[in-house]
């Protein structure tokens, strides 16, 4: 069988129903196999879009996302999505075409050293050297992408090798002697962690995107509610613990709530689960949680003690570890009343510093109001993707997520232009769901070409554009830290988003007044097919509260 037909067979064996990509010279053979191979291919308009679509697909479904690109520029266009996937631990397989083996290293047409370029931003990669290895390498890529700490794996296939004839045997044995992710967690350490929790007077459970990846949201909730443990999540973890809950402190870090950040600051024990103490969470590391001891549960041993030294490290899969921790904790029958004073203190912060904003007293739409309206219009049930900037922070603040995999954003890399293609991928994975992309007017143009993909493939995503006519987040920093010198942040009024949507064959709508906003949103959701709703919001609103970069939680402003 042709090696490329074997690739399609491998994809099917891995349960892949859809791939995203763009063909070109070096991967023509693969596209020939896809022509009637039985896997849906979605033709994106830019390989970055295909890459983020694969991520959106993966984040919304928990399955491995797949994107294809040709050699040279096709593959280099993928790199932003690959870097995004490695930062947010998204399971993706990227299959790139490469020039023929006799041209490798000669600067041949459309040659780029893609395994070299992507080496620092993949979980693993390989370049095929023998066509007989192709099936095994494809399966290994899937295995590595989805197990342990998930991440992107790239397989680069020279054009001539992809045309070779090979004997295809389904399910070849994997050859990964150096890859054995741990899952169970050390029992003694789990017992010690339970004991520490039972003896803590000011504990906080701090969980992140790892809990979502591990499909361990229910197990996390079980742990948190096995006592009255205060819970905070990273922006990547939203939905892993239901937001409207009496033990929920809000998310933490730069634009998190005061209650969450102050609780971390005063905690005597922090139980970190699938979170990596990113600088957006810790602020100034030397002053982060100065009174706390740390339990750190993570599937990636290298995360433990990387930024913050752990006292009780537990390496493994949260889904396996948390139930054991709950059992050990329950057996200790700790007295809940030891947490009374702690809750009193937390309630004090929650009352004094609720998440709130000053609404306009006219028709002006405040950005926070817009997010609340989205929550109302979708009944809190939508899958929400976002671009990067102020709108991302406001969405995370004002749209309470009650279940995992409903909030899809670019947290680690902070990639503008992520939202629309990610929404496309999420919608493909969940055809029945309402998928809303909260876009920024600076971010949306970066991958707006994917509107064409949505129209052509009948992918009915709803783009709710928070239009403040600025690169808002940068403007906010210039206002606060650079003496209001607004350098290169004015986005002006181009394009006319309604006309642009129309030109793509999507529906364009506009909302400029508070009183009609909700109705227009409902109309957008009810309109079949992709919609762009251009919402004009206050131009110079800032995201608060805020820990200025490099400051400590105590120094929150706003």
Binding site for other proteins (CB under 8 A): 115-116, 119-120, 123-124, 127, 129, 144, 176-179, 192, 195-196, 198-200, 268-269, 293-294, 300-302, 304-306, 309-313, 332-335, 337
The nearer residue to ligand TPP, 221 or 443, going by C-beta atoms, is 443
**Which DSSP string do the residues of 147-192 spell out, in sequence order?**
SSS--EEEEEEEHHHHTSB----SSPPP--TT-----S--HHHHHH
Contacted by 29, from other proteins, ligand TPP, none: CB < 5 to 8 Å by type: none
The nearer residue to other proteins, 98 or 395, going by C-beta atoms, is 98
Closest CA relative to residue 275, chosen from 293, 256, 261, 294: 294
Contacted by 470, from ligand TPP, other proteins, none: CB < 5 to 8 Å by type: ligand TPP
Q: Is the peptide bond before 476 cis (omega within 30 degrees of 0)?
A: no
Q: Which residues, 6 or more positions from 247, have their beta carbon under 8 angstroms from its beta carbon? A: 224, 225, 228, 229, 230, 231, 241
Q: Which residues, 6 or more positions from 48, have their beta carbon under 8 angstroms from its beta carbon? A: 77, 78, 80, 81, 417, 421, 447
Least distance between other proteins and beta carbon 328 (Å): 11
Contacted by 415, from ligand TPP, other proteins, none: CB < 5 to 8 Å by type: ligand TPP
Query: Which runs of consecutive H residues, i.e. helices, occur in 47-105?
Result: 47-61, 73-87
The three-class DSSP label of residue 536 is strand
CA 238 to chain centre: 10
- Cβ atoms of 33 and 161 within 8 Å: the answer is no
Least distance between ligand TPP and beta carbon 387 (Å): 5
Contacted by 269, from ligand TPP, other proteins, none: CB < 5 to 8 Å by type: other proteins
Least distance between ligand TPP and beta carbon 442 (Å): 3
The nearer residue to ligand TPP, 156 or 387, going by C-beta atoms, is 387
Among 77, 257, 415, 447, binds ligand TPP (CB under 6 A): 415
Among 237, 389, 404, 412, binds ligand TPP (CB under 6 A): 389
Stretch of residues binding ligand TPP (CB under 6 A), selected from 234-242, 424-432, 470-478, 514-522: 470-478
Least distance between ligand TPP and beta carbon 421 (Å): 13
Least distance between ligand TPP and beta carbon 365 (Å): 13
Among 22, 216, 272, 388, binds ligand TPP (CB under 6 A): 388
Longest Cα–Cα distance in the chain: 73
Among 416, 463, 511, 547, binds ligand TPP (CB under 6 A): 416
Contacted by 178, from ligand TPP, other proteins, none: CB < 5 to 8 Å by type: other proteins
- Cβ atoms of 391 and 465 within 8 Å: the answer is no
Contacted by 471, from other proteins, ligand TPP, none: CB < 5 to 8 Å by type: ligand TPP
Least distance between other proteins and beta carbon 141 (Å): 10
Any contact of residue 37 with ligand TPP (CB under 6 A)?
Answer: no
Q: How many CA atoms lie within 13 A of 265 on its CB side?
A: 21
Q: Can you tell me which residue has the tokens 């054991």?
A: 324
Contacted by 279, from ligand TPP, other proteins, none: CB < 5 to 8 Å by type: none
Least distance between ligand TPP and beta carbon 396 (Å): 12
Sketch the per residue contact string, 147 through 186, with ligand TPP: x for CB under 6 A, - otherwise.
Answer: ----------------------------------------
Any contact of residue 466 with ligand TPP (CB under 6 A)?
Answer: yes
Stretch of residues binding ligand TPP (CB under 6 A), selected from 181-189, 267-275, 383-391, 454-462: 383-391
Cα–Cα distance for residue pair 229/217, rounded to 1 Å? 15
Least distance between ligand TPP and beta carbon 513 (Å): 20
The three-class DSSP label of residue 495 is coil
Least distance between ligand TPP and beta carbon 506 (Å): 19
Length of the chain in terms of residues written: 558
Least distance between other proteins and beta carbon 177 (Å): 6
Closest CA relative to residue 287, chosen from 552, 17, 513: 552
- What are the tokens at 61? 């479904």
Least distance between ligand TPP and beta carbon 470 (Å): 5
Least distance between ligand TPP and beta carbon 83 (Å): 11
- Cβ atoms of 500 and 509 within 8 Å: the answer is no
The nearer residue to other proteins, 113 or 479, going by C-beta atoms, is 113
- Cβ atoms of 4 and 30 within 8 Å: the answer is yes
The three-class DSSP label of residue 505 is coil
Cα–Cα distance for residue pair 231/225, rounded to 1 Å? 10
Least distance between ligand TPP and beta carbon 407 (Å): 16
Positions in 421-460 near ligand TPP (CB under 6 A): 440-443
The nearer residue to other proteins, 11 or 145, going by C-beta atoms, is 145
Any contact of residue 409 with ligand TPP (CB under 6 A)?
Answer: no
Size of the site for ligand TPP (CB under 6 A): 19
**Which DSSP string do the residues of 200-259 spell out, in sequence order?**
-SSEEEEE-HHHHHTT-HHHHHHHHTTTT--EEE-GGGTTSS-SSSTTB----STTS-HH
Among 474, 480, 498, 551, binds ligand TPP (CB under 6 A): 474
Strands 65-69 and 92-98: parallel
Cα–Cα distance for residue pair 269/195, rounded to 1 Å? 11
- What are the tokens at 290? 């100065």
Cα–Cα distance for residue pair 277/228, rounded to 1 Å? 23
List residues near ligand TPP by CB under 6 A. 387-391, 414-416, 440-443, 466, 468, 470-474
């Amino acid at each position: 069988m042709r090696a490329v037909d074997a690739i399609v067979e491998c994809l099917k064996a891995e349960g892949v129903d859809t791939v995203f990509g763009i063909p070109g010279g070096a991967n023509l053979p693969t596209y020939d196999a896809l022509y009637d191979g039985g896997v849906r291919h979605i033709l994106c308009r830019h390989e970055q879009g295909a890459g983020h679509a694969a991520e959106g697909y993966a984040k919304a479904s928990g399955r491995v996302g797949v994107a294809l690109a040709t050699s040279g520029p096709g593959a280099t266009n993928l790199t932003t999505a690959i870097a995004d996937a490695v930062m947010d631990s998204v399971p993706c397989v990227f299959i790139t075409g490469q020039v023929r083996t006799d041209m490798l290293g000669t600067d041949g047409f459309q040659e780029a050293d893609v395994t070299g370029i992507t080496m620092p931003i993949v979980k693993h990669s390989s370049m095929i050297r023998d066509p007989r290895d192709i099936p095994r390498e494809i399966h290994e890529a899937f295995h590595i992408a989805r197990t342990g700490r998930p991440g992107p794996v790239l397989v680069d296939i020279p054009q001539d090798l992809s045309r070779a004839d090979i004997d295809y045997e389904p399910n070849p044995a994997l050859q990964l002697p150096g890859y054995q992710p741990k899952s169970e967690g050390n029992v003694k350490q789990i017992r010690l962690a339970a004991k520490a929790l039972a003896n803590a007077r000011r504990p906080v459970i701090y969980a992140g995107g790892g809990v979502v990846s591990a499909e361990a949201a229910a197990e996390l909730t079980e742990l948190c509610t096995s006592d009255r443990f205060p819970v905070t999540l990273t922006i990547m973890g939203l939905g892993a613990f239901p937001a409207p809950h009496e033990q929920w402190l809000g998310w933490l870090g730069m634009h998190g709530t005061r209650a969450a950040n102050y609780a971390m600051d005063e905690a005597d024990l922090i139980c970190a689960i699938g979170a990596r103490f990113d600088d957006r969470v810790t602020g100034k590391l030397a002053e982060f949680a100065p009174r706390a001891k740390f339990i750190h549960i993570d599937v990636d041993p290298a995360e433990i003690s990387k930024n913050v030294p752990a006292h009780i490290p537990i390496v493994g899969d949260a889904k396996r570890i948390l139930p054991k921790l709950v059992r050990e904790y329950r057996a200790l029958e700790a007295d809940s009343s030891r947490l009374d004073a702690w809750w009193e203190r937390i309630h004090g912060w929650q009352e004094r510093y609720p998440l709130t904003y000053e609404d306009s007293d006219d028709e002006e739409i405040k950005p926070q109001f817009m997010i609340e309206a989205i929550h109302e219009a979708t009944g809190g049930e939508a899958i929400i993707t976002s671009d990067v900037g102020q709108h991302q922070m406001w969405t995370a603040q004002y749209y309470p997520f009650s279940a995992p995999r409903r909030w899809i954003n670019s947290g680690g890399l902070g990639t503008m232009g992520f939202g629309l293609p990610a929404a496309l991928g999420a919608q493909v994975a969940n055809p029945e769901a309402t998928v809303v992309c909260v876009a920024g007017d600076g971010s949306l143009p970066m991958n707006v070409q994917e509107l064409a993909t949505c129209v052509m493939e009948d992918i009915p995503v709803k783009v709710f554009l928070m239009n403040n006519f600025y690169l808002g987040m940068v403007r906010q920093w210039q206002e606060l830290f650079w003496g209001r010198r607004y350098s290169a942040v004015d986005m002006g009024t181009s394009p006319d988003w309604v006309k642009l949507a129309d030109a793509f064959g999507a529906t364009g709508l506009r909302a400029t007044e508070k009183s009609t906003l909700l109705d227009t949103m409902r109309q957008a959701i009810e309109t079949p097919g992709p919609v762009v709703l251009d919402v004009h919001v206050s131009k110079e609103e800032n995201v608060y509260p805020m820990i200025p970069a490099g400051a400590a939680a105590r120094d929150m402003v706003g």
